[in-house]
Amino acid sequence: MAGNTFGEILRLTTFGESHGKAIGGILDGFPAGIEIDEELIQKDLDRRKPGQSHLVSPRIEEDKVELLSGVFEGKSLGTPIAFQILNKDQKPGDYSHLSKTFRPSHADYTFEKKYGSRDYRGGGRASARETVSRVVGGAFAKMILDISGIEIFAFVHKIGSVSIEKEYVQLDLLSTENSPVRCPDTESSGKMIDLIQKVANEGDTLGGEIKCVIKNVPVGLGEPVFDKLHADLGKAMLSINAVKGFEIGSGFASTSMKGSGHNDIFIEKDGDLLTKTNFSGGIQGGISNGSDIYFNVGFKPVATIMQDQTSVDMEGNPVTIKGKGRHDVCVVPRAVPIVEAMAALVLADHLLLNKTARM
Amino acid sequence: MAGNTFGEILRLTTFGESHGKAIGGILDGFPAGIEIDEELIQKDLDRRKPGQSHLVSPRIEEDKVELLSGVFEGKSLGTPIAFQILNKDQKPGDYSHLSKTFRPSHADYTFEKKYGSRDYRGGGRASARETVSRVVGGAFAKMILDISGIEIFAFVHKIGSVSIEKEYVQLDLLSTENSPVRCPDTESSGKMIDLIQKVANEGDTLGGEIKCVIKNVPVGLGEPVFDKLHADLGKAMLSINAVKGFEIGSGFASTSMKGSGHNDIFIEKDGDLLTKTNFSGGIQGGISNGSDIYFNVGFKPVATIMQDQTSVDMEGNPVTIKGKGRHDVCVVPRAVPIVEAMAALVLADHLLLNKTARM
Amino acid sequence: MAGNTFGEILRLTTFGESHGKAIGGILDGFPAGIEIDEELIQKDLDRRKPGQSHLVSPRIEEDKVELLSGVFEGKSLGTPIAFQILNKDQKPGDYSHLSKTFRPSHADYTFEKKYGSRDYRGGGRASARETVSRVVGGAFAKMILDISGIEIFAFVHKIGSVSIEKEYVQLDLLSTENSPVRCPDTESSGKMIDLIQKVANEGDTLGGEIKCVIKNVPVGLGEPVFDKLHADLGKAMLSINAVKGFEIGSGFASTSMKGSGHNDIFIEKDGDLLTKTNFSGGIQGGISNGSDIYFNVGFKPVATIMQDQTSVDMEGNPVTIKGKGRHDVCVVPRAVPIVEAMAALVLADHLLLNKTARM
Amino acid sequence: MAGNTFGEILRLTTFGESHGKAIGGILDGFPAGIEIDEELIQKDLDRRKPGQSHLVSPRIEEDKVELLSGVFEGKSLGTPIAFQILNKDQKPGDYSHLSKTFRPSHADYTFEKKYGSRDYRGGGRASARETVSRVVGGAFAKMILDISGIEIFAFVHKIGSVSIEKEYVQLDLLSTENSPVRCPDTESSGKMIDLIQKVANEGDTLGGEIKCVIKNVPVGLGEPVFDKLHADLGKAMLSINAVKGFEIGSGFASTSMKGSGHNDIFIEKDGDLLTKTNFSGGIQGGISNGSDIYFNVGFKPVATIMQDQTSVDMEGNPVTIKGKGRHDVCVVPRAVPIVEAMAALVLADHLLLNKTARM
């Protein structure tokens, strides 16, 4: 209810303020008997964590996940899986100047008004550090998907004004991790890096887009009315910090097309029903049709900039926010595993729910 | 769970196949003591229904809502409000030729595979006729919002390649209903009408965009992590038939901006805290900040076209789908009250939930 | 949330005031492809309805169920099943004298205080007439259980001070419907009938107990912590009007036993694991163990009596409530199909949920 | 869904196996701005923990709760409150002999069958150690109730065949903690202690009953149909390990009464509406009426006895279970804070939900 639980059958509930003792969560509804690969979890955490390169925030968090329950002798028990990550690199002093000030385009003001107080240390619950728990939950979800052969490939499609010009089918999605900005198109990757460095020197920040492709999804996932598969994917993505837009398949571009050009014509091939095109993005009527699912996620530029900004304090007095601290110029590369994690949670949840569609 | 319920406190559960006896729903969690204006409900239904002008489907449905419970002596009882709309204009003969055929970019194939069978008459549960129940639920939700002064204005922003060029603040949102295509910009409205007529003559169809503006939202609605206000709005919109994209505030355009230009600077004015700009779209950290909430919703072109299309039947044999029946060239104008209804359900739900944020 | 939905995967949402237009519900999450026997539904409704014999209320309701959606060509579609029963025998005049009065041990006062008003005609939403919708939902649930061979047998165990002295295994549970009071023990049945007639002559009312036995439940239904199978059964039963107690297996009698006498010793028989005794009532650790599930449900005496009672009106003035109207001396026989229905909903829900316990 | 979450607005999700690293939970939906008294939490934990006297299990668990999030500067933030209790006194060697054996009247067999494996160390997730997390959640819930003046008094009413003969209104409920068995009736307390010691010497175990009284509940808590206040209380209690029965107010005794004697007659006193008697147990139509809520909870005798028992192993071979380990003769005294905790969670949840019943 209060917004900290995601999913229906596979349910991730998360907790934690950015500068509290720990962040973590409980993953309930995870099926029994699945082999748990703790290294996979850590690997995704490492992809998300700060300090991976000079392009991202130098805050040093070990981000070491500790499993507290639900796994026994290497397998899931069917009981809730609890996990935590200690917040080691806490420097509350960095933030004390913000206790009475509202930073522009952050959640300081809305938290203060909604709850009457807030943990002002680094954003507290509103910090993107919360997404660590999503990555852990998503890594578990991927273990469920792996059994069905479902694979998720997210990558950076756009940073600022630099965008991949190719279709995703022309890209080698296995090469994404070779790029420091997680862009599988070498040329675009280089331009993005240049842009980030340039904007970093200006003390400014960038946004961008992540594209996510999900392969080998069986036909039938998704519920036809309110819980359409892409509606749940959309909510999952829009719940990630800084996300401002979501589009499935042909997305907003479809609004300029005509039906005759947009319809995906069915064809039969070797006994399987396929479509000539895939403007639908692998989902029709809210239900997966077996084609690739693909969608775009738009991120606004990072709100914390290294420039002075005017703002207002809790008494309404004008203040100047100094640009300081340890922050990313562009979070989009680090958000790739977060997008994957949320997609994995949605898919795994629907995979489990779909078991109840027929007796 | 199975996708036919929307909301947490204010919960709309809908039912009905397009050519079954009736469609309708149950709205639970509606507060007691609210005056119920049945005319308001019918008015929104009339805005959605087919046959409003020569620009939309001529199917004649009276779409007369009947309330079965939850209202007594003109006020809500606090008990579930059940309603139904009889399906009077059923012509099952129109659809029998589709019982074994999968129409392109419809839900025929995915329903058949998921459930092992389907009501093939006019799309059954996958028909956009299901949105009638949303409009009824939304009309009730608006009665809750009205008490708090919250107002919702949706309008057609784009049809095909014709788009309003102005900002929404430059438009007279009270004039939307004067336009047959629900576009409050007279010049664009005319172009859209011309385009629809031209494409109708081609037997083809169009998509478009709806923009929705919500005014007078109190600060504090929305939950900070998974149930961010715009994430719930996004899911609500993406669950509407034919929607392919959603963007809040600055949306995808923000991905090309820099933080210094995108941040909404706080200012104090007459004791209130405002922002100079509103790229955030009235939501920060998932919580409303008191500014206008605005978002775009992208609709693909209608899948049913008046042209022959090739497809495949249930045995994999090639078939030709003839273009016939009663269908809209462009559903976007009729979707305006649906967008409003879903927005109203989200806002009212969060308004109620927010009552529990503090004792 | 607001209490009108029951179940997690198989979800029954009900609506309706006793003297409104109709009562009914939506059953969501019902699996596709199940043959629907409408006669079975009507048969259970007929068991519940008033006027079955001179022992029960003479109110004549046809209680004819109408299915509005979710069933096509004789089978479930996997979409929500909506149903309604029109309230034909409305005589609002009977109740107008109660609009400002609080009847003792009814819900008049609590509804008035919670909601600020109420439908005072015959109890409105608080009337036991609401259980009609449960019986319909339960009849559908039995169709799911039937596929797995699960059978539910409820019967009247006690009325007033007359109780069956035998263990349920000594009774012929198929003979229950032969008794006008649904008591499968002939001798007790006769005594119960005599008692009801005697108390009817006094203008007074009776309570009693229903025992329910569920056979052929597979091992594994139920969730181990909060959603233990007997906890969900208990809630289901306690949600029925007039129920004051629930006990599973050995129940309250177990509180006087010692562990050595109460433990159910495992034995192996023809490859199956069984227990020598079944004090557990077929559930261990919240999960079914394959033995018979059995439980008792205690009903208080009917609150509406044919005697004058003092009470207080909405202004606090003393009033006399006259005993009149059409009411049961003892509802327990009519509650048998309601107990079965609620048990069926719980079992079917857990049967579906258990499909997700392993991949 | 998978049974590890309790509540709708105030939601407790728990985790942990008895011999894993830790047990704990996340309490979501806790209102912001409430002063958090960590000592109150620890005090309730200490009342539940083993080793309080020679009458209960000597297992030494420090049961020190650690708060990980949701509390800042002594107040609740409105964000999820996570907590954990480390399992310090793990002796897995004690349990290895049980890895392939099913103990009578435990959850070993049903867990093994449902999940395909289990954490056999001390019951794993099925251990009553899980209730530690409920006590923590309940202690927080009490802080909410305290603001409204609601007070909860649970006490031991019966152990084995020894029962308090007085009505609860004749007892000094503030004296409960003075008794080692938490029985506020001195004479009964003494007899219970004697009985426990006698049965301990036999290597056997006892069950009993807890009565719970809730005072100062405002009128209006509870939802009228499925989520009746006593139905939720019943589920809460039946979800506690070893509970076999629940009765509200007059309970099963009411089944032998007549309506004329059972009805609670309304009277006006100093402007308040009261009832002469309180057979209803403070709840009418599922909604609190302002009178004391009271109910009984029946516990079966402890399944682990200090006597040899025959059983069967996973291959169906007969085995003998030796009575050894550290176990309670009677858990009922230690269950008093658990009953209170679950009652507090139910009441606080309904208190919050009731805020949405009217605008």
pLDDT for A76 equals 98
Q: Is the Cβ of A137 closer than 8 Å to some Cβ of chain D?
A: no
- Nearest by CB to residue B9, choosing from D31, D224, D356, is D356
pLDDT for C56 equals 58
CA distance D260 to B305: 71
CA quadruple C279, C284, C286, C289: dihedral sign: negative
Strand, coil or helix: D35:
strand
Report the number of distinct structural domains present in chain C. Answer: 1
Q: Is the Cβ of D33 closer than 8 Å to some Cβ of chain C?
A: no
Mean pLDDT confidence for C215-234? 98
For β-strands C266-269 and C272-275, DSSP reports them as antiparallel
- Whether A344 shows a pLDDT value over 90: the answer reads yes
Number of cross-chain residue pairs from B and C with Cβ atoms under 8 Å apart: 166
Cβ–Cβ gap A4/D79 under 8 Å: yes
Strand, coil or helix: D176:
helix
- Whether D57 shows a pLDDT value over 70: the answer reads no
pLDDT for D6 equals 98
> Looking at the predicted complex, does its ipTM rise above 0.90?
yes
Position B61 in a domain: yes
Cβ–Cβ gap A117/D82 under 8 Å: no
pLDDT for D271 equals 83
Q: How confident is the model at residue C88 (pLDDT cuts 50, 70, 90)?
A: confident
pLDDT for B240 equals 98
Residue B2's alpha-carbon distances to A31, A293, C7, C26, C74, in angstroms, are 19, 21, 12, 12, 21
- What residues does B84 pair with on adjacent strands? B24, B66
Strand, coil or helix: A135:
helix
pLDDT for A62 equals 77
CA distance B290 to B270: 15
Strand, coil or helix: B332:
helix
Q: How confident is the model at residue D314 (pLDDT cuts 50, 70, 90)?
A: confident
Smallest CA–CA distance, residue D312 to chain A, in Å, is: 22
pLDDT for D52 equals 72
Q: How confident is the model at residue D325 (pLDDT cuts 50, 70, 90)?
A: low
- Nearest by CB to residue D231, choosing from C238, C275, C302, is C238
Q: Identify the chains in contact with D, defined as 3+ C-beta pairs within 8 A.
A: A, B, C
Reported as a single tens digit per residue, the pLDDT across C328-348 is 899 999 999 999 999 999 999
Residue D201, H or E segment: helix D186-201
Number of cross-chain residue pairs from A and C with Cβ atoms under 8 Å apart: 42
pLDDT for C327 equals 78
Mean pLDDT confidence for A275-281? 97
pLDDT for C144 equals 98
Q: Is the Cβ of D31 closer than 8 Å to some Cβ of chain B?
A: yes
CB-CB neighbors (< 8 A) of D305 in chain C = 259-260, 263
Mean pLDDT value across chain C: 93
pLDDT for A108 equals 93
CB-CB neighbors (< 8 A) of D70 in chain A = 15, 17
Q: Which residues of chain B register pLDDT less than 50?
A: none
Mean pLDDT confidence for A166-174? 97
pLDDT for C58 equals 56
pLDDT for B49 equals 84
Position A359 in a domain: no
Q: How confident is the model at residue C61 (pLDDT cuts 50, 70, 90)?
A: low
Strand, coil or helix: A105:
coil
Mean pLDDT confidence for D71-93? 88
User: Which of A84-98, B319-333, C232-246 tops mean pLDDT?
Assistant: C232-246
Position D239 in a domain: yes
For an interface test with C, the pick among B77, B81, B113, B134 (most C C-beta atoms closer than 10 Å) comes out as: B77
CB-CB neighbors (< 8 A) of D15 in chain A = 26, 68-70, 79-82
With a pLDDT cut of 70, the percent of chain A lying above it is 94
CA distance C155 to B277: 69
- pTM for the model stands at 0.97
Position A42 in a domain: yes
pLDDT for C316 equals 83
Q: How confident is the model at residue A241 (pLDDT cuts 50, 70, 90)?
A: very high
Cβ–Cβ gap A147/C34 under 8 Å: no
Determine how many CB atoms are found less than 10 A away from the CB of residue A269. 9
A52-61, D60-69, D250-259: least confident range: A52-61
pLDDT for B52 equals 72
- Whether A58 shows a pLDDT value over 60: the answer reads no
- What residues does D76 pair with on adjacent strands? D71
Asked if residues B37 and B43 have their Cβ atoms less than 8 Å apart, the reply is no
For β-strands A208-215 and A266-269, DSSP reports them as unpaired
DSSP string, D77-117: -SS-EEEEEE-----GGGGGGGTTEE-TTSSHHHHHHHHS-
Residue ranges making up the domain that contains C264 = 5-354
Tokens of B290: 């008191």
pLDDT for A84 equals 97
A278-282, B116-120, D91-95, D188-192: least confident range: D91-95
- Beta-carbon contacts of B33 under 8 Å, excluding residues fewer than 6 positions away, are B75, B76, B78, C115, C116, C117, D358, D359
For an interface test with A, the pick among D8, D13, D112 (most A C-beta atoms closer than 10 Å) comes out as: D13
Mean pLDDT confidence for A103-131? 92
CB-CB neighbors (< 8 A) of D238 in chain C = 228, 230-231, 234-235, 246, 248
Residue D266, H or E segment: strand D266-269
Position B359 in a domain: no
Q: How confident is the model at residue C60 (pLDDT cuts 50, 70, 90)?
A: low
Mean pLDDT confidence for A246-255? 98
- Beta-carbon contacts of A169 under 8 Å, excluding residues fewer than 6 positions away, are none
Q: Identify the chains in contact with B, defined as 3+ C-beta pairs within 8 A.
A: A, C, D
Position A150 in a domain: yes
Mean pLDDT confidence for C65-78? 96
Tokens of B338: 């649906």
Position C359 in a domain: no
A305-319, B342-356, C8-22: least confident range: A305-319
pLDDT for A103 equals 92
- Beta-carbon contacts of C97 under 8 Å, excluding residues fewer than 6 positions away, are none
pLDDT for B122 equals 81
pLDDT for D269 equals 87
Mean pLDDT value across chain D: 93
Asked if residues B5 and C58 have their Cβ atoms less than 8 Å apart, the reply is no
- Whether C65 shows a pLDDT value over 90: the answer reads yes
Position D359 in a domain: no
Cα-flanking dihedrals φ and ψ of residue B201, to 5°?
-65, -25
Reported as a single tens digit per residue, the pLDDT across A65-74 is 999 999 999 9
pLDDT for C209 equals 98
- Residue A52's domain is classified under what CATH number? 3.60.150.10
pLDDT for A99 equals 82
CA distance B353 to B347: 10
pLDDT for C169 equals 97
DSSP string, B2-64: -S-EE-SSSEEEEE--TTSSEEEEEEESPPBT-B--HHHHHHHHHHHSTTSSTTS--------
pLDDT for D91 equals 60
- Beta-carbon contacts of D233 under 8 Å, excluding residues fewer than 6 positions away, are D246, D248, D293, D295, D342, D343, D346
Mean pLDDT value across chain A: 93
Of C224, D86, B173, B256, the C-alpha closest to A157 is B256
Mean pLDDT confidence for C108-133? 92
pLDDT for D92 equals 55
